[in-house]
Structure 1
């Protein structure tokens, strides 16, 4: 059985999409761990309701290096894929090498636009609206040493309407994120079975 860990910082709606994908047999995998860098993340409750092991390395108590090292030590030899689903801490060091091409991140824009340092969550949607572009979307990419610089696996587009607000754009992008993350995990599971 293909094993994954999901890293979150917030409500965990993309985690829920993965859980639902497993329950509907669309995804043939198990979530071994849900790890958060925020002790108040709503996604932890989602995981606990499903009986998934949860760990918290709160960014107010741990440095970025400590968070990365703790995650590496926890997941070493235990999972096939690490999924960053709204995880706001930047991973550093050994984890990138140990899980080379086995860490994916979901970003709420069409990379290479509106990404990199400081671009996350509603900041991305605000920047998209201020720029006047006609489309946005989301990207799943492999994680490397940079910020949002790893190889793009797949993207999904949404139309940006003139009356969109941060909230309406977020809702549209979220809807696509839920489908995209499940599709990409499915694709990666398929590759290991070839």
Structure 2
């Protein structure tokens, strides 16, 4: 039995991707990964209710409570040190992380974004905005991306993407719901499990997932 791989989830909003991770854990689909804490950037985040309902430890670290980025990063690092996570998942986390924080968790932070990066990503592209951009541009395909986090918004090595077809009748709201259902809620748990099972390989700065191997006789 592999050792438990602890995952902390950082949130700012409703927690739809957190809910997908909770479901996956309850269905034993995360392998050795276990959610160890949920930390919100605002006390009103509805994701906190989902975390508490699942019996997960919660905390709030608000950016506005700290004068500088470095002070905020230090407070967040201190809070996370209580749980000692092996991986951080940014699941709708809208607060910027500084370079010192990212360096501390280098290659141990992933983010889920509701588009096929590098398209419709970067500052300001959150919520419905990526989906509005897809529709305004007339794209026929969109999707979701899980990537490792670096110092730039929605940047860093891509780990997994899943396409979703844009329908003629789509609105931003309809498209958002389908991207969640058909892409985000599938690839985020898959990436967490792959990292926990040490199935991510790096080459030339790029990350790739090795598929699970079935042992002979099983």
Q: Do the two structures share a fold, i.e. TM-score over 0.5?
A: yes
Partner residue of 1:71? 76
Q: 1:130 maps to which residue?
A: 136
Are the aligned partners of 1:64 and 1:89 in contact in 2 as well (CA < 8 Å)? no
Once residues 167 and 133 of structure 1 are traced to their aligned partners in structure 2, the CA distance between those partners, rounded to angstroms, is 16
Question: Which of 22, 27, 31 does residue 24 from structure 1 map onto?
Answer: 27
Q: Report what 1:181 is aligned to.
A: 188
Determine the C-alpha separation between the residues in 2 that align with 1:53 and 1:63.
Answer: 26
CA distance in structure 2 between the partners assigned to 1:117 and 1:142 by the alignment: 17
The Cα offsets for residues 92-140 of structure 1, whole Å up to 9 and x where unpaired, read as: 1322011000000000100010001111111111111100010111000
- How many angstroms apart in 2 are the aligned matches of 1:130 and 1:34? 35
1:149 deviation in Å? 1.5
Deviations 1:146-188 (A, max 9, x none): 1111000000111111210011000111111011100100111
For residue 90 of structure 1, what is the aligned residue in structure 2?
96
Q: How does 1:105-184 map to 2 (within 5 A)?
A: 105-175=111-181, 176-184=183-191
**Per-residue deviation, 1:60:** 4.0
Deviates more, 1:102-111 or 1:36-45: 36-45
Partner of 2:42: 38
Find the residue that maps to 2:192 and give its secondary structure.
helix
Gaps of 5+ in 2: 201-209, 211-218
Which ranges of 4 or more aligned residues in structure 1 deviate by more than 6 Å?
Answer: none
Number of the residue aligned with 1:48: 52
User: Is contact 1:37-1:67 (8 Å) kept?
Assistant: no
Corresponding residue of 1:13: 16
Contact conserved, 1:68 with 1:93, CA < 8 A, in 2? no
TM-score (norm 1): 0.94
Equivalenced residue count is: 194
TM-score after normalising by structure 2:
0.84
